[in-house]
Structure 1
Amino acid sequence: MELDLFRWRFVHWQFMLTRPSNYTAGNIGGSVSGVKIAFLGNGSYAFTVTGNSNPDGSIYNSEEAITSQTTGRLYGAIFVRHWDSYITPQRQTIFYGSLKKDGSQYALSKVVNVLKGTNLESPVPQFGSTDNFDVSSSGIAFVSKDPVLQPAIFTKINAYFVPLTDFTVASPPSPIQIQTSGFNGQATSPVFSPDGKQLAFLRRKSVQYESDKLQLFVLTDVAEPNSTINALPTADQKGAWDRSPSSVFWSPDGKTLYLTAEEHGRVALFTLEPPSVTANSSSLPKKVFYDGAISSAYPLSNGDVFISGSNLVDNSIYFHYDSTSGKSNVLSSNAKNGTVFGLSRSQISEIWYPGAAEGTQIHAWVVKPSNFSATQKYPLAYLIHGGPQGSWEDSWSTRWNPAVFAEQGYVVVAPNPTGSTGYGQGLTDAIQGEWGGLPYEDIVLGFQYIEENLDYVDTSRAVELGASYGGYMTNWIQGHDLGRKFKALVTHDGVFSMVSQLASEEQWFPDHDLEGPYWKNPSSWLKWDPSAHTANWSTPHLIIHNELDYRLTIAEGLAAFNVLQQRGIESEFLSFPNENHWVLKPENSLLWHTAVLDFINKHVGLPTYSEQSSYAKQLRSEAWQNRKGDLGRKV
């Protein structure tokens, strides 16, 4: 298909503010997105877009693609498939061009593939986006998987710079790899300074660890690719700042760098003075905004910052941060801080308790029902997050939303045990070789803390739920003592057999966390295998697994369900043929929530969701009828 790109751009960016109507400056012969622009002077602009390219470097157009005479796929290297799709000959790429005045109107130049003939791909699949590249009057910066190392085994992503001043040239200069001595992991978030002379970006040290700490680097002169400075260095290369920033951008005057980073279950905004050619940054980043979870932040021309984010009771909040006063104010709150949904920030609290490892403190969110009464006792919904290098944040979600469970009548406790992010790199790294060890012990200690300290929680009516690594932990809990504390368990796309991780697409993940590939260290893999403890399984259990999940194949869910059924344990299995690791389609999401809430509610004495919603009951009935070969037997 053709994307009439600049009709859209003229409407939204208003290059021609004085014109009474918009017009088409030109067409691009394929589907593109991710527009970025840079002013070149004399009323002209450089732009970049991203889209798929054919093996010859031309832009991919699905309507013009030749239909293959076979459905077979032949591979000589991994990846074979990634996330939810098989690898095809097409590659993501960055195209550039210019927009110049032609008489009274702007004209679009021919777009050029900046990566043609390089064997590089950007944005990096599957989730690379506009944070993987930037454009300025001096050229284009981007990140790409290392072209030599196996992409499924190594996490190395390099940063590159393509010097360009004329964005109409048909043959761009070859990309220059930006050097970062001693750091060979993932690079991300390249962003030019306002004058285009410097480049800031983030990079990890390890070549085979996707959750190593991101550190800030600045290329102080884009004309000198070896002028890279680690902004906050230490002799051991661990970095002076014990946080892992997720994004970086410059102030309009180029005198301040802004960073977003997780901290204690929130995503905060920090400021830092940029390093110079002769000196690193003189102090650690300063926290300037700490309210919920930032999803994006943009500098304004006057030096202030526009922030969008959410929290546990509001799905969309916009803030204005005043860089002069250091204060922020709410510009818009979609749910009026939760009140539109019948929620309130008073429902949210947090607890800290001693962890299993000496000296650790584990943080957990507590979410109460909106009609909470301190004189009553409520069943517990214990939520375990995925990752395992991740965390429950003060943020809104349409998939795992604690408020949904709280409004059913649960007190929700969501702990961030060993392996979680935002509490220092030490806690994150401690998951290695400890999948069913320290995190499980932290979760046990959290349950004990709830029993002893939260007198409004009825732990005799507790349920536990988790997805991905949280699903692994649920299966692990089922086979251990803590599993007998719960009335029901829910596993979404979880690990059943550790050896089955050899079928996953990103092999660097188990190789790192389980301390080596299976054939070199089988004992570490087998030590934490949930399938080894199925003789202890006895708690009612709902298994959910999706057919497009190539990270954890559907065999994991089917194996767990087969065990439950053969052992005579009350159990159900829910699957979606058109969903991946997540459930994203609205009706599927409603069925997901219906099945989950029906299963756990009946075990703690709460009304099922099907009893509360006729449409949800209809969806559940349709899903039940869709089963093929069912014998109608209830376990």
Structure 2
Amino acid sequence: MTIRASKFTPKVMLSAPRRSAAIPNASGTLLAYTQTTYSFESHSTTSELRVLNVVTGSSVLLTNSYSGSPQWLGDGNKLVWLRTEDNGNTSFIVGDGKQSVDPYVAGTVPGPVSNLKITHISPGLVGFAVSGKANPDGSLYNPSTAKKPVSTGKLYTSLFVRHWDEYILPQKNAIWYGTLQKTTSSAEEGSSSKYKVSDLKNLFQLVDATHLECPIPPFGGTDHFDICRQGIVFVSKDTDLNKATHTRCVLYYCQLQSWTQASPTPAKALALGEFNGAITSPVLSPVKNTLAVLAMREDGYESDKNRLIIVPGLFDGQAEPVELFKTDDGSGLWDRSPSSLTWSENDSDLFIQVEDTGCGTLFKLSIGDSLNPFTEQLSKLTHSGYVTGVAPASNKIFLSSTSLVENSLFSVIDLSKPDQQPAVICSSSRHGASLGLSPKQVTDLWWKGADGHPIHAWVVKPSDFDPRKRYPLCYLIHGGPQGAWNDQWNTRWNPAVFAEQGYVVIAPNPTGSTGYGQAFTDAIQNEWGGKPYEDIVRGFEYIESELEYVDTNRAVALGASYGGYMMNWIQGHDLGRRFKALVTHDGIFSTRFALATEELYFPIHDLNGVYWQVPQNWDRWDPSRFLHNWETPHLIIHNELDYRLTIAEGLAAFNVLQMRGVPSAFLTFPDENHWVVKPENSLVWHRTVINWINQYVGLPALVEKSEGADGEVVVGDMARLAVNR
């Protein structure tokens, strides 16, 4: 589907095709990727598995039925992908990457599995690993065939009770492995070779580790395990500690004497010494199977700095972890926190994805024979946008990325040519043009925040921006709080959507933001309403004095999660009187309510202890202490499946606004969690939010009349209708 839009609207954004990262074949001539497109006309999603020819730029549709990402079998142009069947089973499908004819079922397993990874063992023999939930008896869980209980009661005697948007059940994530082996069948016309899937083996059951769980919920996937010919490495939470109050992980490895026999060695924990926090991105190099992994030092702090660890000889009994860029004071030679790792084809380089000054950049680290590299051996390969996928092939590195105006870009770097910039292969949106956007709309700026620290912000202007005119300000505050606004595409909070309404959007990265050094990230501890608020206030003052094209007398502010907390905090403080309207999405109303969250380690860390030990910290930054100041029109959004911040927080905020006679409205989605991701719900969310803020700054409504047949909600004159006294 090709989008051609003259104006970027929520509907255009949500209708645009969403592509996965590109996966190259061994020769680097073909890129496999998946693509989903939602139609508001048919109210349905179209899913496609496609292969792009790197030279010609043309693509072939292989199938509309798949789950997860495909993998190249390294045998000509053969691909394998997963397909979910109606009965909940999963089939392994093998097809030709150059044409959509005659894919076949290589085998079917009796339940849902995902996160497919493969390793080439010998000619015609491929090992694979997938993740899938295991029943307490070790069998693969299939919700379609599982016996339904006669009661809905759930009894818990320890945390977690629920996590993200699900109650904890007896089934746990596990790693399953098997093989794809070529077999030859004879026929009258001759013989043909096809792959056949072996029986699925539960790794955790075979190594007596059924108490472990990998991938780690709720967001873990292929970044929590890896495989090679010698075995499997994976990460699990430390089962001796409570998962709700600790982030400590343990790294395990299991050697496989044979992928075709159920005979792995017992799972061994790899001691990482002082690294007592979260662990992620274990990756095994393709030649020597050297392990690289990211590890945090501090337990209970999910935003601690990721340290880069190399472990040579993992499966040879000589595993000695080495921390790269280590310093005696523990700070490290490199002040950035990597998020993902990828080995080069010959083990000589590590490609490192890392947030850096508002971008998701890629660095190359030359390892060579030295395991004590200096930062001088780091070379920055990208300088803008946000890299979402990295894949080496044929002495090239294939990148998938996005930006604030680009929803999907495939590019390539030829590693044989030093200092080469990424060459564009394919832009899904023609660099934003087909969506009605342009890179010229995006700039950035800096101001001095708390303690004189420089604060960075992105600026997104309307596509028809005229510097002689003045535009209302849309001030966006990000969540986390250890997060950042990056040069990155987002369908939940997209600054360009607001800019195209006629706002100048400014999205700051105040104290606590990531990508500006670990000390800046850490500085938000016990400062929730302190330094970040000061940064935001000083930003508003800078905009007012320095940007003539911004009308701060017509300003609105919006935020979600911690950004929602900040909206509630702003509402009770002086800055709140500078805005015409506010929007809080799933924000904290009272810090005491945070005791109802699932990942309790988050507020415990950020507020320097549990409530009964340091009540002064929790109370100091509690927005509900300042309810007597709430008077700015305020839209509250909170979803029923949000177990991170319960819906009581949103209801409490709305109830206060209503009782105080403040123009207000409450939007909720019973089937959404901390985010709003279903297209129809997202469209309602965008229209409600935009119509709420537009009416207070004199911009026209996005929707003039109800289109109830399409499930659309129209916000009327909320200043008049929303107060029910």
Q: Normalising by the residue count of structure 2, what TM-score does the alignment of the two structures yield?
A: 0.83
CA distance in 1, matches of 2:411, 2:517: 27
**Alignment partner, residue 421 of structure 2:** 327
Tell me, which stretches of 5 or more residues in structure 1 are unaligned? 625-630
**Alignment partner, residue 77 of structure 2:** none
The answer to whether 1:113 aligns with 2:202 is yes
**Alignment partner, residue 628 of structure 1:** none
8 A contact 1:231–1:275 mirrored in 2: no
User: Which has the bigger relative contact order, CA under 8 A and spacing at least 6?
Assistant: 2
CA distance in 2, matches of 1:402, 1:120: 41
Tell me the CA shift for residue 101 of structure 1: 2.7
**Alignment partner, residue 373 of structure 1:** 466
**Alignment partner, residue 180 of structure 1:** 272
Tell me the CA shift for residue 76 of structure 1: 1.5
Secondary structure of the structure 1 residue equivalent to 2:491: coil
Which one-letter code corresponds to 1:207 in the other structure? D
> Percent of pairs identical after alignment?
51
CA distance in 2, matches of 1:196, 1:13: 29
Tell me the CA shift for residue 56 of structure 1: 1.1
Secondary structure of the structure 2 residue equivalent to 1:473: helix
Tell me the CA shift for residue 63 of structure 1: 2.6
CA distance in 2, matches of 1:42, 1:373: 63
Tell me the CA shift for residue 5 of structure 1: 2.9
8 A contact 2:334–2:375 mirrored in 1: no
**Superposed CA offset, 1:108-131 (max 9, x none):** 221111112311100110000111
Secondary structure of the structure 2 residue equivalent to 1:61: coil
Which one-letter code corresponds to 2:689 in the other structure? V
**Alignment partner, residue 62 of structure 1:** 143
Give the one of 92, 95, 102 matched to 1:11.
95
Q: Relative to structure 1, is the Cα distance of residues 65 and 474 closer, same or farther in structure 2, using a 3 angstrom cutoff?
A: same
**Alignment partner, residue 198 of structure 1:** 290
**Alignment partner, residue 386 of structure 1:** 479
**Alignment partner, residue 13 of structure 2:** none
**Alignment partner, residue 447 of structure 1:** 540
8 A contact 1:320–1:331 mirrored in 2: yes
Tell me the CA shift for residue 338 of structure 1: 1.2
CA distance in 1, matches of 2:372, 2:620: 48
Secondary structure of the structure 2 residue equivalent to 1:587: helix
**Alignment partner, residue 447 of structure 2:** 353
Tell me the CA shift for residue 512 of structure 1: 0.4
Equivalent residues in 2 for 1:36-185, closer than 5 Å: 36-103=117-184, 104-116=193-205, 117-118=208-209, 119-185=211-277
Give the one of 597, 616, 623 matched to 2:690.
597
CA distance in 2, matches of 1:220, 1:400: 42
Tell me the CA shift for residue 278 of structure 1: 6.3
CA distance in 1, matches of 2:722, 2:489: 39
CA distance in 2, matches of 1:211, 1:189: 15
**Alignment partner, residue 34 of structure 2:** none
CA distance in 2, matches of 1:115, 1:146: 15
Equivalent residues in 2 for 1:516-535, closer than 5 Å: 516-535=609-628
Secondary structure of the structure 2 residue equivalent to 1:512: helix
**Alignment partner, residue 343 of structure 1:** 437
Q: Relative to structure 1, is the Cα distance of residues 407 and 130 closer, same or farther in structure 2, using a 3 angstrom cutoff?
A: same
The answer to whether 1:542 aligns with 2:635 is yes
Which one-letter code corresponds to 2:573 in the other structure? H
Q: Relative to structure 1, is the Cα distance of residues 169 and 357 closer, same or farther in structure 2, using a 3 angstrom cutoff?
A: farther
CA distance in 2, matches of 1:271, 1:633: 57
Secondary structure of the structure 2 residue equivalent to 1:620: coil
Of the structure 1 ranges 289-298 and 165-174, higher mean CA displacement relative to structure 2 is found in 165-174
Of the structure 1 ranges 289-298 and 572-581, higher mean CA displacement relative to structure 2 is found in 289-298
The answer to whether 1:33 aligns with 2:114 is yes
Tell me the CA shift for residue 620 of structure 1: 1.4
CA distance in 2, matches of 1:425, 1:296: 24
Which one-letter code corresponds to 1:337 in the other structure? H
Q: How many residues align?
A: 621
Which one-letter code corresponds to 1:294 in the other structure? V
Q: Relative to structure 1, is the Cα distance of residues 315 and 168 closer, same or farther in structure 2, using a 3 angstrom cutoff?
A: same
Equivalent residues in 2 for 1:172-571, closer than 5 Å: 172-222=264-314, 223-224=316-317, 226-274=319-367, 276=369, 279-280=372-373, 283=376, 285-300=378-393, 302-325=394-417, 326-358=420-452, 360-571=453-664
Which one-letter code corresponds to 1:572 in the other structure? A
Q: Relative to structure 1, is the Cα distance of residues 493 and 538 closer, same or farther in structure 2, using a 3 angstrom cutoff?
A: same
8 A contact 2:586–2:650 mirrored in 1: yes
CA distance in 2, matches of 1:410, 1:188: 39
**Superposed CA offset, 1:589-608 (max 9, x none):** 11111111111000000001
Of the structure 1 ranges 541-550 and 336-345, higher mean CA displacement relative to structure 2 is found in 336-345
Q: Which has the higher strand share?
A: 2
8 A contact 1:293–1:310 mirrored in 2: yes
8 A contact 1:177–1:225 mirrored in 2: no
Tell me the CA shift for residue 105 of structure 1: 3.1
